[in-house]
Amino acid sequence: MSGDVTAFVLISTHTGQELEALNAIRRMKRVKEAYITYGDYDIIAKVQGPDLEAIDNTVKAIRRMKEVMDSCTLICTKD
């Protein structure tokens, strides 16, 4: 997907809701990969889209989820 914007979203969920959130996040159109993690965040998701607006729409959808408490988005630069 040449020319796409890539971002990694670090996600904190409410205790015990990691798997439910992960499954919903993996079903999102622009999410290419998502995994449960240990540490300060519970999930990491790789999001790709044609522009920042597409990334923003996906991040907003993640943040609106009832299972999600907080998130941090990292926009990748070119190689």
Structural domain boundaries enclosing 37? 5-75
CA 62 – CA 12 distance, rounded (Å): 11
Total number of domains constituting the chain? 1
pLDDT in tens, 5-57: 999 999 999 999 999 999 999 999 999 999 999 999 999 999 999 999 999 99
The domain that contains 37 carries what CATH number?
3.30.70.920
Mean pLDDT along residues 60-75: 98
CA 38 – CA 27 distance, rounded (Å): 22
Strand pairing of 68-75 and 5-13?
A: antiparallel
Q: Which of 46, 51, 56 is nearest to 5 (CA)?
A: 51
Q: Is the overall model pTM greater than 0.95, yes or no?
A: no
